[in-house]
Amino acid sequence: MILKLREKSKEIEHKIISHIANRAKDAVSVFSILNEDDFSDVKNKKAFIAVKESVLKEEDIYSKFEDAGLLFSDFVNVDFSDVTHKARTLKRISTALKLNKLIERWTNRIDNTNIDESISNFTREFSQSTGLCERERTDIKSIIADYEKDQELYAEKYRNGDKLLGLSTGFGKIDNVIDGIRSGHFWVIGGYNNTGKTFLALNIVVSLLNQGKRVVIYSMEMSKKDLAGRLMGILADMNSAKILKGILTSEESEKQMKAKGILWEKNLNIYQDLDDYEQIKLSMYEESMKELVDCFVIDYMQLLKSTNLNEYQLMTMASSEFQSIGRKTGVPIIALSQISNEVAKNADRSVGGYKGSGGIEASSDIALKLVQTEELKTVQEKQKNHVPINIDCIITKNRHGIKGLIPMSFEGYTGIFYEGYET
């Protein structure tokens, strides 16, 4: 098995290098998934380092290959429609090879006299092999080196026309304020009943999926089939209940089939049976080990369960833990939250007031609150006629930038959010 994995790894390594060596604009996404340790073949590893240095430092790639003792012509022009998918495949193969090597090293080393110590040491080495819990480098030289790597990656993104530090939410005005969904950040989207919390999250999910990203959703409020239906509704600009009933015109039928086809090709996982926060934590680590995750979504915080914690303790603990998981895995986490009745009636809308614990907002990097701006009668009339209602998206916390208010509108019939008020 190991020999087959090595051969497969070598083949994919060569093809990935051949692609990014000829298409620098695709290289940055590969660099965010792979590093030189993921290349088992010495020649391919040297070539990967040469391409990386060439792209990030804007130096001549032919010279870099020559300096490494390589021929550029050995890496023929290979074109993938989605090179990031190949990079994720190689990452999994690399992890499998590391784990097999680890298991070989531990074979016949454990007996009844050293089992406790062996379990501890094996678990530590296993975590390090997956890359999830690598030993933290704390010296300032390593910190600055990591900082410079980020600078180089962002500089290359900017040269390719991407001016955000993170991934786009799909809403330009929100992106401009918070610089996109950044690696490892913990988000909270809050709002009172029927303000569109879940739909705003799903609009963001659609944007991420359309960028070729992988998303994992933990839904405790609705079934995975209902969530899939809502996503199809957003993609088709149609009502998800109408799609499910199937009473459609030929034009509508074509739209829903197209939306279903688009969703079919996306990298999306939805859980509906997990609600214990300890189980969700473990699942997040497992999903990150299986394949690179670009964003986790939790719908919603107040439906999390615990066998031994009250609501305040659970909300405080879960928020802190999700923030920690984001930092350790580098995966941003978007959690939905209700706001308290008291804050809903409060005229000071800059207060987050997420239900259950102030720890929710305290742990967050980004905290958003959705507030209806119109009288109930106006809202009901608009909803009846499928007209978008006006929503204020208030950034109550931005750990790394400014706060503010972004006018938006929400069409509940289709689940689509728009920037700006409905006039």
The CATH code of the domain that includes 121 is 1.10.860.10
State the Cα–Cα distance between residues 323 and 333, nearest whole angstrom.
8
Residues 196 and 306 in one domain: yes
| β-pair partners for 276 | 305
The total number of structural domains in the chain stands at: 2
Residues 149 and 224 in one domain: no
309 within a domain of the structure (yes/no): yes
- Domain with 219, as residue range(s), is 172-419
Are both 114 and 192 inside the same structural domain? no
Question: How would DSSP label each residue in 110-126?
Answer: --TTSHHHHHHHHHHHH
Residues 366 and 270 in one domain: yes
Tens-digit pLDDT profile for residues 256-286: 999 999 999 999 999 999 888 888 888 888 7
pLDDT of amino acid 333: 96
- Asked whether residue 166 is domain-assigned, the answer is no
Taking the C-alpha atoms of residue 368 and residue 277, their distance in angstroms, rounded to an integer, is 22
| Regions of the chain where pLDDT drops below 50 | none
Task: Let me know if residue 385 belongs to a domain.
Answer: yes
CATH of the domain at 304: 3.40.50.300
Q: Say if residue 179 is in the same domain as residue 66.
A: no
* Among the listed residues 20, 14, 9, the one whose alpha carbon sits nearest the alpha carbon of residue 74: 14
Same domain, 69 and 203: no
Torsion, Cα of 135, 141, 145, 150 (10° steps): 80
| 132 shares its domain with 228 | no
Residue 201 lies in a domain: yes
* Torsion from C-alpha of 200, 356, 226, 186, nearest 10 degrees: 50
- The C-alpha atoms of residue 153 and residue 30 are separated, in whole angstroms, by 11
Are the beta carbons of 392 and 419 closer than 8 angstroms? no
Please report, as a single letter, which amino acid is at residue 359: G
Predicted confidence at residue 392, as pLDDT, reads 92
Same domain, 338 and 234: yes
Structure tokens at 173: 């005005």
- The conformation of residue 379, written as its DSSP 8-state character, comes to H
Model confidence pLDDT, tens digit, residues 127-186: 666 555 555 666 777 777 777 777 777 777 777 777 778 899 999 999 988 889 998 999
Nearest to 31 by CA among 179, 214, 154, 128: 154
Is 277 part of a structural domain of the chain? yes
342 and 202 inside one domain: yes
Q: What is the dihedral of CA 217, 223, 228, 232, to 10 degrees?
A: -130
Identify the domain boundary among 135, 158, 181: 158
Residue 357: per-residue pLDDT? 82
Please check whether residue 167 lies inside any domain of the structure.
Answer: no
Preceding omega of 147 cis (within 30 degrees of 0): no
Task: Answer yes or no: is 163 within a domain.
Answer: no
Domain boundary residue, one of 97, 132, 158:
158
Q: How many other β-carbons are positioned within 10 Å of the β-carbon of residue 244?
A: 15
Verify that 104 and 76 share a domain, yes or no.
Answer: yes
Which one of 124, 158, 192 terminates a domain?
A: 158
- pLDDT at position 187 is 94
Percentage helix, strand, coil for the chain under 3-state DSSP, each rounded to 5:
55, 15, 30
Q: Do both 145 and 55 map to the same domain?
A: yes
pLDDT of residue 283: 86
| Same domain (yes/no): 369, 391 | yes
